[in-house]
Amino acid sequence: MPADYYELLGVSRDVGESELKRAYRQKARENHPDANPGDAGAEARFKEISEAYAVLSDPEARARYDRFGHEGLRGGMGGPAFDFDLSDIFESFFGGNPFGGSRSRRPAGPPRGDDHETVIDLDFAESVFGADRPIDIRAQVRCDDCGGSGAAPGTVPTVCSVCEGVGQVRQVRQSFLGQMVTSAPCPRCRGIGEEIADPCRSCRGEGRRAEQVSLVVRVPPGVEGGATLRLSGRGSVGPRGGPPGDLYVHLRVTESDVFVRQGDSLVAELPVTMLQAALGTTLTFETLDGPRELRVAAGTQPNDMIRLNGLGVPRSNGRGRGDLHVVVRVDIPKKLSKAEAAKLREVAAERGETVVGGPDPEGPSENVNQVDGEAHARNRRKRRSRR
pLDDT bin (cut points 50, 70, 90) of residue 99 is very low
For residues 313 and 325, the answer to whether their CB atoms sit within 8 Å is no
Neighbours of 143 (CB within 10 A): 22
Q: In what order do the strands lie in the sheet with 260-262?
A: 260-262, 265-273, 324-331, 305-308
Summarize pLDDT for 278-337 with one digit per residue, the tens: 999 999 999 999 999 999 999 999 999 999 999 999 998 888 999 999 999 999 999 999
Which pLDDT value is given to residue 383?
A: 60
pLDDT bin (cut points 50, 70, 90) of residue 179 is low
CA dist., res. 184 & res. 191, Å (int)? 9
CA dist., res. 63 & res. 5, Å (int)? 13
Residue 178 backbone zone (phi > 0: left; psi -120 to 50: alpha; other: beta): left
Summarize pLDDT for 82-94 with one digit per residue, the tens: 445 455 455 444 4
Angle CA 207–212–213, to nearest 5: 85
Q: Has residue 184 got a pLDDT over 90?
A: no
Q: pTM of the entire structure? A: 0.60
Summarize pLDDT for 234-260 with one digit per residue, the tens: 999 999 888 999 999 999 999 999 999
Which pLDDT value is given to residue 385?
A: 59
CA dist., res. 308 & res. 312, Å (int)? 8
**HEC letters along the chain:** CCCCHHHHHCCCCCCCHHHHHHHHHHHHHHHCCCCCCCCHHHHHHHHHHHHHHHHHCCHHHHHHHHHHCHHHHCCCCCCCCCCCCHHHHHHHHHCCCCCCCCCCCCCCCCCCCCCEEEEEEECHHHHHHCEEEEEEEEEEEECCCCCCCCECCCCCCEECCCCCCCCEEEEEEEECCEEEEEEEECCCCCCCCEECCCECCCCCCCCEEEEEEEEEEEECCCCCCCCEEEECCCCCCCHHHCCCCCEEEEEEECCCCCCEEECCEEEEEEEEEHHHHHHCEEEEEEECCEEEEEEECCCCCCCCEEEECCCCCECCCCCCECCEEEEEEEECCCCCCHHHHHHHHHHHHHCCCCCCCCCECCECCCCHHHHHHHHHHHHHHHHHHHC
Q: Are strands 178-185 and 168-175 parallel, antiparallel or unpaired?
A: antiparallel
CA dist., res. 236 & res. 141, Å (int)? 6
| Residue with more model confidence, 82 or 228 | 228
Measured in whole angstroms, how far is the alpha carbon of residue 287 from the centre of its chain? 30
**Arithmetic mean of pLDDT, 66-75:** 71
Q: How far is CA 355 from CA 299, 342, 345, 352, 363, in A?
A: 20, 11, 7, 10, 14
Q: Which residues contact 202 (CB under 8 A, 6 or more apart)?
A: 143, 144, 145, 146, 209
Which pLDDT value is given to residue 289?
A: 96
Taking all residues of the chain, what is their mean pLDDT, rounded to a whole number?
A: 83
